[in-house]
Amino acid sequence: MFNFCSLYSGSSGNSLFVETDKTKILIDCGVSGKKIFQALEDLDTSIEKIDAILVTHEHLDHVQSLGMISKKYDIPVFANYETLEAMPKQKEKIDIKNQKIFTIGKEFKIGDLCINAFSIPHDAANPCGFNIYNNSNKITIATDLGHMNDELLNNMKESKFILLESNYEPELLQYSKYPYILKQRISGPKGHLPNEIAGKTIGYLTKYNLKQVLLGHLSKESNMPEIAYQTVIEQLHNDNIDTDELKISVASRDKHSKLVEIC
Ligand SMILES: [Zn+2]
Ligand SMILES: [Zn+2]
């Protein structure tokens, strides 16, 4: 068994779940504890069964309840040094024995999962995505991407499943009520990934074994699930990518996704 579930995904809060027969982890805790506990119960599990929490970066939409959950349920938190230091309010709640520092590019293990973090272009201290392996199966978590580049594409190759950011539609962003400076930040090289580039990225990865995709971290103000999905599909068709074998869906901001079975 190797399963993935997006508990919540969007610019308003993120928390993801991965499980095997032996190991259960969360990636980020960017919504209230109550919401995370509820989603885990819906999946017939509970916070008490979580072995570890991985952290992508210190922005509040990824760590809102991290410290509280780690403290209350005595759960180890895996973050890189800069990320941990950049969230002192969370760090002070995490028991020293539960502060597990990893290095980007250096593989580490949690139970029967192998994890390799990779750098992402985003305006945080040392933000990262994750490649997670169980036996020979690889999945990738990649959100908060200011732009796409060769290094990222190389890191994502050979994943069977990816949770990929599809944050905004440029025209909707342009006419959204966000202040100009925030629009510049979102569309800048260390902001977020637009739908079209998500589509191009998926097209590329289908040549390297990609089978299932969940589009995630959608903006509330400048995207809609239907638009993200449609734009990605159109991009794949424009690039002559055969989508028959590919499963694509959109992660919701306020409810958990279906359980994605990798194997
Ligand atoms: Zn962020
Ligand atoms: Zn984010």
Could you read off the pLDDT of 76-112 as tens digits, one per residue?
A: 999 999 999 999 999 999 999 999 999 999 999 999 9
122 Cα–ligand 1 center, Å: 7
Q: How do residues 19-53 score in pLDDT, each as one tens digit?
A: 999 999 999 999 999 999 999 999 999 999 999 99
pLDDT band at 135 (very low <50, low <70, confident <90, very high): very high
- The tens digit of pLDDT for each residue in 191-235 reads 999 999 999 999 999 999 999 999 999 999 999 999 999 999 999
User: How many Cβ atoms are within 10 Å of 43's Cβ, its own excluded?
Assistant: 15
Instruction: Tokens for 142, please give them.
Output: 């990649």
Q: How far is CA 256 from CA 4, 6, 16, 130, in A?
A: 11, 5, 9, 20
Q: What pLDDT was estimated at residue 251?
A: 98
Which residues, listed in sequence order, are joined to residue 109 by a DSSP beta bridge? Answer: 114
Contact between residue 106 and residue 82 where contact means Cβ atoms under 8 Å apart: no
Ligand 2 is a single-atom ion; what residues have CB below 5 A from it?
61, 144
Q: Which ligand is nearest to the CA of 8?
A: 2
**Ligand 1 centroid to 252 CA: how many Å?**
17
Distance (angstroms) between ligand 1 centre and the Cα of 125 equals: 10
What's the structural domain count of the chain? 1
* Ligand nearest, relative to CA of residue 14: 2
Q: What is the pLDDT of residue 75?
A: 98
The domain in which residue 78 lies consists of 2-261
With contact defined as beta carbons under 8 Å apart, do 199 and 231 qualify? Answer: yes
Cα of 244 to ligand 2 centre, how many Å? 31
The whole-angstrom separation of Cα 141 and Cα 57 is: 13
% of the chain with per-residue pLDDT over 90? 98
Buried b (16+ CB within 10 A) or exposed e, 115-125: bbbbebbbebb
Ligand nearest to the CA of 61: 2
Average pLDDT, the chain: 97
Ligand 2 center from residue 143 Cα (angstroms):
7
Smallest Cα–Cα separation from 199: which of 231, 222, 161? 231
CATH number where 34 lies: 3.60.15.10
Measure 192 CA to ligand 1 centroid, in angstroms.
Answer: 8
Please report which ligand is nearest the Cα atom of 217.
2
Task: Sort residue 209 into left (φ over 0), alpha (ψ -120 to 50) or beta.
Answer: left
Centroid of ligand 1 to alpha carbon of 124 (angstroms): 7
Q: Which two tokens stand for residue 5?
A: 């579930």
In degrees and rounded to multiples of 5, residue 214 shows phi and psi of -120, 120
